[in-house]
Each structure stands twice: as C-alpha cells, then as structure tokens.
Amino acid sequence: MSSGALLRLEGAATRKNSRGLSLSVMPGDGWALMGDRRSDVDRLYKSLVAGDVERGSVEQPAQASSPFKPGRMNTRATVGGAFKRHEGVASARALSAMGLWDELGREVGALDEEETAALHLAYLLSQPGPLHFLGRWADLLSPWRTAGFFTLLDEVLELGQAVFASTSRAETAARLGKVVVLKADDPRFAGPVGDLIVQARPDELIVETDEPAAVAAMAAPFTMRVTVLPGELHIQAADGQALAARLLTSGYGHIRSVVVRAPTLEDALLQAT
C-alpha cells in the first residue's frame, strides 16, 4: 500500500469484463463514486467496502471505520440512545449539524426518511476512525439539511479523516473534491473534480453585436467553433475569459455584451459518460 494510504485499489472490478479501478485514498481525501444509469454504482461501492472484488485488489487498514448497517440500529431506541456508546463532543457536533439535537428523545423508528439519513451520517462522521464510508445517505437530504452536512463534512476532512461515498448529486461530489465516474460499470475518470471539469467541453461565449461577421473574423484565431446568428455569435473557446477580454478591448462599438459560460461539473459528468 502507498505510504499513508487509508484505502488502495489496484485494478479493482466487480465484473470480469469491466475495466479495473485504481486509486489511493489519502488522509483528508473526499471521494465520490458516481455513474450513469447503466452502471451498478451501489454494487461496486459495497464491494469496495467489503474488499470483495471479482478482479484486482482492495487494501484497507484494519482501523478504518466500517459502515453503520441499518439492521444494527434498534428502531425502538431514541436518537440519543443510538449514540450512547459514542457520546462526546464529536457526536454532539454531528447531531447538531444534522439538525437532530432537538430530537434526542425521539424513537429512531419514528424518524422520516430524511431524518434517518441524517442520523446515519451523524453517526458515521462522529466516529474516530480515519476513513468513513457514507454510502448514498447524503442523496436523501433536503437543501437545508445538506448545508449542515457539508459543514460537518468540511470539519471531518480538515481533521485529516477521509470520506468515501456514492452519490448521484454533483454538489456532493464537488464538496468531497474527488470523483470516480463510471460509464456502464467502466471507470472513465478518477481524480480531482477540477481536473474533470478542465477535460470537459470548452467555454461557451454569447456575444451580442450588430456586426457578427466582423466580430467572428476578429475572434476566429482564438476559437474552436463559431456560430453566427442574427445579432449575436455563439463561440466555443479554450479560454473564454481571455477571449472575452480580447473582444471587449478590440471590438469597440461592435460588441454590446459578452456572456461567458464555463463548463460545470454536470457538463463534465455528462461528457464523461
């Protein structure tokens, strides 16, 4: 295992005919596992957690935190009782961040789906282990509770603990910082979210102008594609901000406005799959 790695995958695959996944999870890393509708993301996630893959290897230190299984939670216990063995500052902080501090006396079985997800996330992220497997619980959170989850997640990562989760939400992947993208179960990308976005399609510019042909000729050396429409241009360029500045400086009265749209993580995910 790489020096300091909490989890290392070498050609790990759950199917004989799928490509293997290789990566190292280091302290402070946040990883999201994502895939298109043809990918069995949950199957790969569970296999990685259990270290049981069809091909390749999964190396994980014994001290890594294991995922909390719903079957182990006594639904007749209270929210506070579920944390009895893990009482402390970390548990209190996690319960508060997930909006459960005022629900300590409620029975676990009385919680709705989102509250149950929040309880599992609070439990997992309050454990002292260096690596936390979160599953897909974060996908069940509302935007309001997601904000608390992100705050808690940031604190855990800043402490040098690592997080590995499966998700279908781009915002969760962006907050974790690193992502594995599957297409039909084959890994297409594994690395920082920023690197995935850089690989996405070029920036798009919409230029409003009374002389589209003249402005198109001016922009041509720096563009990848130009579409001329009545009163405006649609331009694709590797560096949209630099081209926008050049056009606004050189275009004088020809250009009324320039809007730059950089690729988003959603764009990058769609392009990768």
**Domains observed in the chain:** 7-197 (3.40.50.300), 201-262 (3.30.70.940)
**Per-residue pLDDT tens for 136-167?**
999 999 999 999 999 999 999 999 999 999 99
Contact 44, 83 (CB under 8 A): no
120-123's contacts with Cβ under 8 Å and 24+ in sequence apart are: 120/68, 120/70, 121/94, 121/149, 121/152, 122/83, 122/91, 122/94, 122/95, 122/97, 122/98, 122/152, 123/68, 123/82, 123/83, 123/86, 123/94
Would you say residue 91 has pLDDT above 70? yes
Band (pLDDT 50/70/90 cuts) for residue 251 is low
Would you say residue 89 has pLDDT above 70? yes
Instruction: Identify the residue with better confidence: 67 or 261.
Output: 261
The angle that helices 89-97 and 143-158 make with each other, rounded to 10 degrees, is 150
Instruction: Give this prediction's pTM.
Output: 0.84
User: 187-191, 201-205, 252-256: which has the minimum mean pLDDT?
Assistant: 252-256
Would you say residue 173 has pLDDT above 80? yes
